[in-house]
Structure 1
Amino acid sequence: MYERILIPTDGSDVAELAVEHALDIAAQYDAEVHALYVVDTNAVAYSLGAEQVDRIRSGNFQGMTELREDAEAATDYVREQADARGLSVIEHISGGQPHEMIADYAEDHDVDLIVIGSHGRSGVRRALLGSVTERTLRSTTVPVLVVDARADDRE
């Protein structure tokens, strides 16, 4: 049923909870796992110049050590957790609008399931613009499992 599972991550606690759910499913179905970190170019556009934002969109993070380190830490977490379960992970970092990049990645890689946290690091932006999760739900026809941070509180 599930051959390829996509885990969009921003490294937040909620994203890490989604990783646990996704990897449990991947282990059950022996699915290929994809970890995706998207640098939100709208969020960084105010602090970076247009040239740097264009470089991020093209996948070039040269000279942007902090962004690259955050991205690698988030996808490395997925890989480390997957390694502990004997699963392999394809890690990918990109730049753009997160919901669009998630939907495009899922389509381009024939993903069968997207597992995403209910919210991440966006704080006030989430309240003003709507969450990446909500926009992802509207942007893709791939099934999406939304892991709510409150689910961890009930256990």
Structure 2
Amino acid sequence: MYDRILFPTDGNSQANALEHAINITELSGGILHTLSVIDGETVEEDNSPDSFEPTGTQIVEDAETVAAERDVKVSGAIEQGNPDEVILQYITDHDIDLVVMGTHGRSGVDRLVEGSITERIMRANDVPVLAVSIDDDQSSSRERST
């Protein structure tokens, strides 16, 4: 069913999304692809893209470590460019079956102004996308209610 699962991450507290990706990969017996995209627009003239690689490497390694603790096969990658384009190309190149992404769940003006990479990925491809809330306020209120 889901043999190749993609977990694209920018490293912002996405433990909940990663946990979902690992659980699904574990159940399917497939392979988890972790992808850190270094946004080409954030690389200024004085900063070389190489200066961002350690952060991307750490993000991918952290995800791999968590997955390895559960004996889940992992393939990690770090790419540079427009996050939407890089993720969509990765989906195609690696024949991904499912994408698991964290989302802040913004609405209203914030959503219109900032947009959502998760939403754009959902609209631009035929592969199912599981959007997992990573909003700290929502997770805190859920913890209090249980």
TM-score, structure 2 normalization:
0.83
Equivalent of residue 152 in structure 1, options 132, 139, 142: 139
Equivalent of residue 70 in structure 1, options 34, 46, 55: 55
The residue number in structure 2 matching 1:37 is: 36
The residue number in structure 2 matching 1:93 is: 78
The structural deviation recorded for 1:126 is 6.6
Aligned length: 136
The residue number in structure 2 matching 1:140 is: 125
Query: What are the residue-to-residue correspondences of 1:1-150 with 2, within 5 Å?
Result: 1-13=1-13, 15-44=14-43, 47-48=44-45, 52=48, 56=49, 61=50, 64=51, 67-119=52-104, 128-150=113-135
Q: What's the CA shift string for 1:58-94, capped at 9, x where partnerless?
A: xxx3xx2xx1111011111110011110012111010
**Which of structures 1 and 2 has the larger relative contact order (alpha carbons within 8 angstroms, sep 6+)?**
1
| In structure 1, C-alpha distance between the alignment counterparts of 2:98 and 2:111, rounded to whole Å | 23
Structure 1 residues without counterparts, runs of 5 or longer: none
- One-letter identity of the residue aligned with 1:48: E
Among all aligned residue pairs of Structure 1 and Structure 2, give the percentage whose two residues are the same amino acid. Answer: 38
**Retained in 2: the 8 A contact 1:9–1:16?**
no
Structure 2 residues without counterparts, runs of 5 or longer: none
| In structure 1, C-alpha distance between the alignment counterparts of 2:82 and 2:21, rounded to whole Å | 23
The structural deviation recorded for 1:129 is 3.4
| In structure 2, C-alpha distance between the alignment counterparts of 1:82 and 1:20, rounded to whole Å | 9
Q: Which moved more, 1:99-108 or 1:126-135?
A: 126-135
| In structure 1, C-alpha distance between the alignment counterparts of 2:27 and 2:90, rounded to whole Å | 23
- One-letter identity of the residue aligned with 2:93: D
| In structure 2, C-alpha distance between the alignment counterparts of 1:101 and 1:118, rounded to whole Å | 18
**Retained in 2: the 8 A contact 1:4–1:32?**
yes
CA RMSD of aligned residues (A): 2.2
* Secondary structure, counterpart of 1:110 in structure 2: coil
